[in-house]
Structure 1
Amino acid sequence: MNIWVSVTEMSTVARTRIRDLYTRGQQIRVKSQLYKECYDKGVVFDRTDSLLEEFEYEGAIVSNPTPGLYKWCSLLDFSSLYPSVIISHNICYSTFIKRTLINLALLSHMFVTRTSKDNVLRSIKVYKRKGEAFMFVSAYYSSDKEIHIQTTRGRYSRPLLICTNGSAPVCSNTTVDDMYKAGTLEMIDATKQMQCFIATTHDSICNQHTHVEIHPSFMFGLSTSMTPYANFNQSSRIVFQSAMSKQAMPLALHIMTSMVSDSKILTYAQKPICATTISSMIKEYNGVNVVIVVLSYSGYNQEDSLLFNKSSIDRGLFSSIKYEVVEIIENKFMNETLVYIPDGDILRDNDGIVLIGQKVKDGDTIAAKLVITEKKQSIEKIVLKSFVSGRVDKVTKHTSAEGNKIVRVRILLYRFPIVGDKFTSRHSQKGVIGAILSQEDLPFTKDGIVPDLIINPHAIPSRMTMGHLLEMVMCKIYVLDSNNARDPTLPSKPRSRESSCIDATAFNKAYRSFEVDIAKLSKEKMYCGTTGLPIEARVATGICYYHALRHQARDKAHSISKGVIQSLTKQPVEGRSRKGGLRFGEMEKDCLIAHGAASMLLEKLKNTSDLCEVWICHGCSTICSSNPCVNCNGRNTKEHHLPYSFKLLAQELSIANIRVGLKYT
């Protein structure tokens, strides 16, 4: 009976026939349909890419969710887990309404009725707020004079505090169970939320409000709620930061015990000086507090470029570790056997596997297999791929269910920042390293403080990330406060180091608590590192929390002079892993034309790409394959050099009965 109820509900929610759930049940994703329902009602955040694909089945809207799709919900959103269509039937037929008065209409997975609205809604509200059977039931009175009761599973709901006469209880030193028992908490879904008047904070509650947020940060997702002073930034910057924070290298110690390839972690991370309430609760850190200066310096930090302090890098700033895993499978059915083959000074075990602690580089043999066939025996070497150079960190051996021996060799690559690596603050102020300068060449303050990195001042006005500047100032105040000898005018204990990501007065409260001139404190007199002369203007300095993103120049740098070409176009193959060529696109072509570099344009688009020799008949101006020409029987043919892609285009146009004529002077 329970199975039949579940299948019936899946059919109702997915809007498809029951027999389709048995025949194509693995292909229909009910969660995607539920996501669309919530997306249409504005419960979850939008994404930059397309969420829904074409309809695959008649009567069912199906989409393929991408990784991380359901993480865009707010912090306390969760799906109702317990069914029921049966509860809806009981409410409609036996408890509140006479069956003769029912006018039922099945709209989507909602049941609609037209009678006794006050009694129905009041009874459901009482039982729901008691935390009993109707905790996840949603009932409201629509503008069409209908009572909508929703009880199906999979509806996104979130808890809100109940407001009574312009006041709401304060959540302090209490649990969710106690709040449910006290009747101060209520689960609200998307449809019910449209009938509620929700206050953001306790300070903004008026008599008309029906509910209030437990905390303002709970309206957002995890990434957004960990950004301090997010309410001072553009909304687009907040969306960008939510995406880029997932690309930051974490301090994930569990990766050190796993055998996952292409894993990157920081060697150390710091607790942010300026934190939000959520980040203080989670205590997962993936960045470093750096001394930052907003200044145009040396011309190498134009646009989004960053200037880094070489001494800071030598001390371990943003140092990271990358793990590469090489898998070797000894297939018994293919008559493969691991064998020992000496290769240089690398030490190996009896199976020929590299030992832990050995240094390996590009082209070294990790292991070797003896492959025996009916005709011959051959040695297959497993060679380390390009651009990998490190030390063997871990080796695991086990046997699969089929009896094949599987060996995994993990290689540790220690990395430090180089030119081209990407970094970002918590306010989507991203940039790449433009130059790494010595400490003695960087500007310094009167106290001898040298910045860890320098950003360009033009990055602030266009993006309008005021939260970035506020974080710099507040972190500087907190650091100075920890050392009273430096500035005795600062109080010894500030009120709070946590900033609300929605409270617009958070910065003003911090400003009043310190009673200092922030305008003077945020800018300092600095001196040029190369000349020693003072810089004319006062320079904005501070401390900001920065992330090191997983986009590193070592993984993207690529150059090659010879390689594999495609058989169809005679051009180099694509991709760094295939040792292919670099794309010379439309914008690069326009750049060379604008500079008048005709020889360089000819070299890149023809000579080093797909140069070919063809014979052209000057009588009919076509590419000919024989002498005399088969088209005009002429013998005035000459050899010319053309890009093979153009020759291929001319041949494909001839299929459409379009002749391409070539005339040479």
Structure 2
Amino acid sequence: MNCLQADPVFKMNRMKKQTGNKVSTEALWERIPDVPVFTNLTEEYGRVPKEAEPALEALATPHIESFDWAVDEGLKLALKELPDVSFELPNTSKDRITLKVTDARVCSPSVVPGTVGAKDHRIFPTECRQRYTTYKGDFIITMSWWMNGIQQSSIEKNLGAIPIMLRSKLCNLQGLNPKGLVGKGEHETEWGGYFIAKGHEKLIRMLLMTRGNYPVFLNRSAWEARGKGFTDKGILVRCVRQDRSHKIRICCYYHVMSSNAVYNNVLHYLSDGSVKIMFNVGRELFFVPIMMILKSLVDVTDEFIYKRCVAGFEDDLYMKSCITDMLRDLHRQGIHSSYGSKQFIGEKFESRIRKQIGDWSTDAQCCEFILQYLRSVKVSIYIVACLAFRTYVAIHCATPMEKFNFLVHALKKLYQGVQDKAAPESPDHVMLQEVLLGGHLYLQLIKDKLTNWLTTVQYLILRKAKADTTKALQQSDINQVVSKSFQIDRNFETFIATGNVPLGTGQGLPQTTGLTIIVENLNRLRYLAHFRSVHRGAFFMELRTTDARQLQPDAWGFICPVHTPDGTPCGLLNHLSAFCEIVTQTQDSSEIPNVLIGLGMVSIEQTCPFPIKDCYTVSLDGRILGYVPMEDAQKIVDRLRLLKLENGKVPKYTEIVLVPKRPKGQFPGIYLFTSLARMMRPVINLRANKVEYIGTFEQLYLDICITPNEAYPGITTHQEINERSFLSHLASLIPMPDNNQSPRNMYQCQMGKQTMGTPYMTYHRFAENKIYRLYFPGTPFFRPVHYDYLKLDDYPSGTNAIVAVISYTGYDMEDAMIISKSSFERGFGHGCVYKSEHIDLKFLLKNTTTQSTFQRDPLEPNLNEKLGPDGLPHIGQWLEKNDPYFCFFNAEEGKYVTRKFSGMERVYIDSVKLKGNDEGTLFKQSVVIVMRVPKNTRMGDKFASRAGQKGICSYLWPQEDLPFTESGLTPDIVFNPHGFPSRMTIAMMIEIMAGKSGALHGLVHDATPFRFNEDDTAVEYFGSLLEKGGYNYYGTERMYSGTDGRELTADIFFGIVHYQRLRHMVSEKWQVRSTGPLDAVTHQPNKGRRRGGGVRFGEMEKDALLAHGASYLLQDRLFYGSDRTTAHVCMECGSLVSPIVIVPPTTPGATLAETPKPKCGLCGKDESIEVVEVPYVFKYLTEQLASVNIKIKLDVGQV
């Protein structure tokens, strides 16, 4: 094959498929402008656009479409998978009852019936934000029931209102254009994707999970602790139903040969080289031989099972002997047929299963239920493999034979891995991962709550029947029971508000708490980053191993290598690359088997005319389809890939993986995936010159070049969309990150999300607890094209500052920087913080019987200055500590109550909002007060450039004392030149030149990475522009001293940098105390500013005092000012715990003449006991060690 290259004029048609807020991201990368422009100078700036911006709408697409799927198609699938509840009544007729939820629907949010004054019954999100309520809609189900097999009348039940995702098909904002959104109190760019719970915006976090329906061969040392004979090898398969549920796990384990193997009927013990399936019902673990499962699935001979298991591996004597031994072992246990196997399994689980399928069921029917309704399966043939049974065993397979074929395939892979013929895999690699979306978790919670609700209805019916065993169950009885059953609205609201899932729902998740996060809108960057973040799971944060944190090569293009926080969540909290998509729409894969047969595949149901050892096994979403000769496999895969691009019988988001056969390589085969929740990304297929979406597994076996120059003839098949496609949105906003040291780019991704800016346009409508605002933001002169792509000029953050790189005055050491006082007085870095307080008299007084209202006390005239007649503060009024805050009439006690303001800072009342209840019948009982706190720059506040150069303001230096240039310019910021060499932030040096030339010529320069190279350097380009403007080529200038006017003898690097003011302010962090609360255990001062804690004194402070020769101060700070205490010590034994005081017996009423002296319990002496001063925490540690029989001996002596 000749070298294929992308057409230089390759341009896809821009497809703006927009249905409501659903935007196709097929050509999003083409919306990136070629060069940046000053969008704030265009006529469209500041006006509401006619259409929504697809780039911003795509941020919430995975969340919204997964929720839409969950409440529509997913809900229907979940009801089909929901097991019936069957039981027998304890009455005289022994009636058999079956309960089933046959229909369910979720409604759009609306006001409750009977609401006073409601003209529009729809509820919009802005109302819930301001009223601190939940944006929710009714969840209505239909329950059908049968008595003795005869269906009765169905019953409809409203299970309460559950949270609704914004901009979903159930949201009342659905279908509104930007102008309509503004009319409903939203931003014109509102993209939704989150919930509103109790007034707070909550987002369900996306979690990385093991790839579904694929057997993963692993080595895990923890598996050896499962029991005798277990090894560290296993197959992990996470099987997923069509409704994306995965709950109970089943595992198969492989046992090593052991001469001490016990042969009995206990399923935990198997013979040499055998395989067992372990599954759990609730928290109980059970083991079943895999051959027993295979025989239960299909009624075939042992010869058939043997031939299927060894097909393709007829030369593997070890594997053949293991299969034979396992089949023989079944006969030793008296199991000779498929029915006998089912009967055996049913007997063991009879007591646990009959309650769900009916006490009248046979043992064989119990077995069928086990194979049908186990939520998840882990197969591990001495390797744990997690399978998820679908209808019988492997729950993703439709028929018993499909399940049989899948288990046989996993068995083959297991034995090849055990013999070191197949390489072990790792679930920490992105190739074997998919994403758990919020909508899928939401549906799983619905399914779990419906199961609990049916169980509750069953319990209520049985209780009613036991009360009168002679009465037959009537329709009215069922109606009464259903009406008394619980509602699920509180469970869902708690889940969205706290992120904690019930124990049953959380099985199989890497965490059960913190699944929802607050969508912090500190600035635009932080807001949008939440929607692209994926988490590995809180479980991995506690592990000592770093495997889950490491950046693997297969993450290229899917997970951003730059955008991850430093510290504890490093490598676990990641972000998707800019154009990585997640499959959220169900794809029709029914035609793929016929297409493969037409291309030369032999069906698994037919006799293969080729030797199976010379064929690849073909699987589709975990279902084994057939065999393909190895010599034709590559041609078939190439043809299948072209059919995929035609958008015909092969879906667009199909993942086509050919794992070639290699010595000790990955287990070979052709794997096709069309399921939901997989990560896909666009690349250019060079053969077809079209955009193709590829998956994480697929990418490993493709050759993808970045530029046409990197393509290898006959090898390269694909090309990247652009050079920056592997970066996330925030990483793409870093100016020229290819010129920075890698950690600095990571720092900027974090500091960009901590910058004060313009988070809202509707400050008056929001009531968040804390909102930061920068008064005078600016647009940067030097920025990547991604800045305009995300429309960040509409929500700017940061300020352009004139920077002089010079060591001046000594106040700029250790990353500190000097800011011109005049620049500060002109508004540099000025901002404020909005704080909201929700005051509800019902909760404040802890009563619901009387209606207290806000009113000003008429007998207190001094309240008039601060409070209005309604008892609330005036708009614009400033408040300080102990000023009147609000006043209300306590109806229960019949008196007025005035509350004082308890804040430490002066605040200004920005707005006061009165709230009512849901029915509109109560007023003047609840209020939201929004306060504005000025936060202008002061010494100690933190700033940072976009190159990761962070530092604090060390001094507001008078402008007349700062150095000035020949033209009279004085810098806004003095930056120490020692910050460049160790940090290697060359991009900031380039920005100084670029910003200076941009201001001279009125240009905005492109800071997109990889635009410059060694032949065309940035220094040469910007230096020539400076020369044309009459400045030095290298951006330096001669400056004059601000104190005596003499010319400085050095050339000073001088230019413009876009600086960010971070939210870390000294006014919110300063802390001081003399005395205060102590910790009850250590007797040391408490930590925490809010709790009156002490000032932190760490290693660096200790080293500083030692370096200054002031070591005696350490004794004062770390001893006398901390946990100084006295203790008795034995001078001879050196022990703190051996001295004891023995009180002699006394007669009743007598007193001791003197306090007894302590005596050493080891040496028995009292004259060797002395009193010493020691830290209390050391004394506490000594006592703790003594409790575990560890002795501490001190070397003490007289001074």
| TM-score (normalised: structure 1) | 0.81
1:118 CA drift (Å): 4.9
Q: Deviations over 1:81-136 (max 9, x none)?
A: 23469548735875542312497476995868641525632442223212345211
Query: Measured at CA, do residues 367 and 659 of structure 1 come closer, stay the same or move farther in structure 2, by a change above 3 Å?
Result: farther
Query: Measured at CA, do residues 38 and 572 of structure 1 come closer, stay the same or move farther in structure 2, by a change above 3 Å?
Result: closer
For residues 167-566 of structure 1, what are the structure 2 equivalents within 5 Å?
Answer: 184-201=690-707, 209-254=716-761, 256=763, 257-284=765-792, 285-331=796-842, 334-335=846-847, 337=852, 340=856, 347-349=866-868, 352-367=871-886, 381=899, 383-386=901-904, 388-399=905-916, 405-482=925-1002, 497-505=1005-1013, 507-508=1017-1018, 510-511=1021-1022, 514=1025, 516=1027, 520=1033, 522-566=1035-1079
Aligned position for 2:487: none
1:543 CA drift (Å): 0.8
Paired residues of 1:13 and 1:108 also in contact (CA < 8 A): no
1:372 CA drift (Å): 9.8
Q: Distance in 2 between matches of 1:344 and 1:291?
A: 48
1:335 CA drift (Å): 2.5
For residues 65-104 of structure 1, what are the structure 2 equivalents within 5 Å?
Answer: 69=573, 72-83=575-586, 86-87=589-590, 90=593, 96=599, 97-99=601-603, 100=606, 101=608, 104=617
Aligned position for 2:242: 6
Aligned position for 1:628: 1157
Query: Measured at CA, do residues 13 and 348 of structure 1 come closer, stay the same or move farther in structure 2, by a change above 3 Å?
Result: farther
Aligned position for 1:176: none
| 3-state SS in 1 of match to 2:636 | helix
Q: Distance in 2 between matches of 1:203 and 1:619?
A: 81
Q: Distance in 1 between matches of 2:762 and 2:788?
A: 23
Aligned position for 1:121: 637
| 3-state SS in 1 of match to 2:982 | helix
| 3-state SS in 2 of match to 1:220 | coil
Q: Which runs of 5+ in 1 are unaligned?
A: 54-64, 169-183, 483-493
Q: Mean Cα displacement is larger for which, 414-423 or 638-647?
A: 638-647
1:140 CA drift (Å): 3.6
1:323 CA drift (Å): 1.4
| Length, aligned pairs only | 620
Paired residues of 1:528 and 1:535 also in contact (CA < 8 A): yes
Paired residues of 1:425 and 1:544 also in contact (CA < 8 A): yes
Q: Deviations over 1:219-253 (max 9, x none)?
A: 31111211222222222222222222111112122
Paired residues of 2:1023 and 2:1035 also in contact (CA < 8 A): no
Paired residues of 2:838 and 2:926 also in contact (CA < 8 A): yes
Structure whose alpha-carbon radius of gyration is higher: 2
Paired residues of 2:817 and 2:955 also in contact (CA < 8 A): yes
1:440 CA drift (Å): 0.5
Q: Distance in 2 between matches of 1:200 and 1:345?
A: 71
Q: Deviations over 1:493-549 (max 9, x none)?
A: x7x732321223474584597493886350111101111110001111111111111
Q: Which runs of 5+ in 2 are unaligned?
A: 1-75, 82-240, 247-374, 379-385, 396-443, 449-503, 511-533, 541-547, 662-667, 1142-1154
Q: Distance in 1 between matches of 2:957 and 2:906?
A: 26
1:272 CA drift (Å): 1.0
Query: Measured at CA, do residues 377 and 583 of structure 1 come closer, stay the same or move farther in structure 2, by a change above 3 Å?
Result: farther
Q: Distance in 1 between matches of 2:709 and 2:762?
A: 44
Q: Deviations over 1:600-640 (max 9, x none)?
A: 22321233223345566779775655523254574887766
Paired residues of 1:424 and 1:548 also in contact (CA < 8 A): yes
Q: Distance in 1 between matches of 2:509 and 2:986?
A: 42
Query: Measured at CA, do residues 131 and 260 of structure 1 come closer, stay the same or move farther in structure 2, by a change above 3 Å?
Result: same
1:283 CA drift (Å): 2.9
Query: Measured at CA, do residues 310 and 536 of structure 1 come closer, stay the same or move farther in structure 2, by a change above 3 Å?
Result: same
Q: Distance in 1 between matches of 2:998 and 2:1065?
A: 32
Q: Distance in 1 between matches of 2:579 and 2:733?
A: 15
Q: Mean Cα displacement is larger for which, 292-301 or 457-466?
A: 457-466
- Equivalent in 45, 65, 78 of residue 560 of structure 2: 45
1:475 CA drift (Å): 1.8
Q: Distance in 2 between matches of 1:28 and 1:369?
A: 51
Q: Distance in 2 between matches of 1:38 and 1:9?
A: 29
Query: Measured at CA, do residues 394 and 219 of structure 1 come closer, stay the same or move farther in structure 2, by a change above 3 Å?
Result: same
Q: Distance in 2 between matches of 1:149 and 1:37?
A: 28
Aligned position for 1:582: 1095
Q: Distance in 2 between matches of 1:37 and 1:532?
A: 56
1:39 CA drift (Å): 7.1
Q: Which amino acid in the other structure matches residue 1070 of structure 2?
A: A
Q: Mean Cα displacement is larger for which, 84-93 or 269-278?
A: 84-93
1:164 CA drift (Å): 5.1
1:430 CA drift (Å): 1.3
Q: Mean Cα displacement is larger for which, 364-373 or 579-588?
A: 364-373
Query: Measured at CA, do residues 8 and 307 of structure 1 come closer, stay the same or move farther in structure 2, by a change above 3 Å?
Result: closer
Q: Which amino acid in the other structure matches residue 273 of structure 1?
A: F
Aligned position for 1:177: none
Paired residues of 1:423 and 1:549 also in contact (CA < 8 A): yes
Q: Which amino acid in the other structure matches residue 292 of structure 1?
A: V
Name the Cα RMSD after superposition.
4.1
Q: Mean Cα displacement is larger for which, 229-238 or 613-622?
A: 613-622
| TM-score (normalised: structure 2) | 0.47
| 3-state SS in 2 of match to 1:407 | strand
1:582 CA drift (Å): 1.3
Q: Which amino acid in the other structure matches residue 430 of structure 1?
A: K
| 3-state SS in 2 of match to 1:516 | helix
Aligned position for 2:676: 153
Q: Deviations over 1:385-420 (max 9, x none)?
A: 33x321011222324569894432221012221111
Paired residues of 1:367 and 1:382 also in contact (CA < 8 A): yes
| 3-state SS in 2 of match to 1:253 | coil
Aligned position for 1:25: 505
Query: Measured at CA, do residues 352 and 94 of structure 1 come closer, stay the same or move farther in structure 2, by a change above 3 Å?
Result: farther
| 3-state SS in 2 of match to 1:240 | helix
Aligned position for 2:1180: 648
1:308 CA drift (Å): 0.5
Q: Distance in 2 between matches of 1:440 and 1:353?
A: 47
Paired residues of 2:1131 and 2:1197 also in contact (CA < 8 A): yes
Q: Distance in 2 between matches of 1:33 and 1:602?
A: 45
Q: Which amino acid in the other structure matches residue 151 of structure 1?
A: T
Q: Which amino acid in the other structure matches residue 1118 of structure 2?
A: L
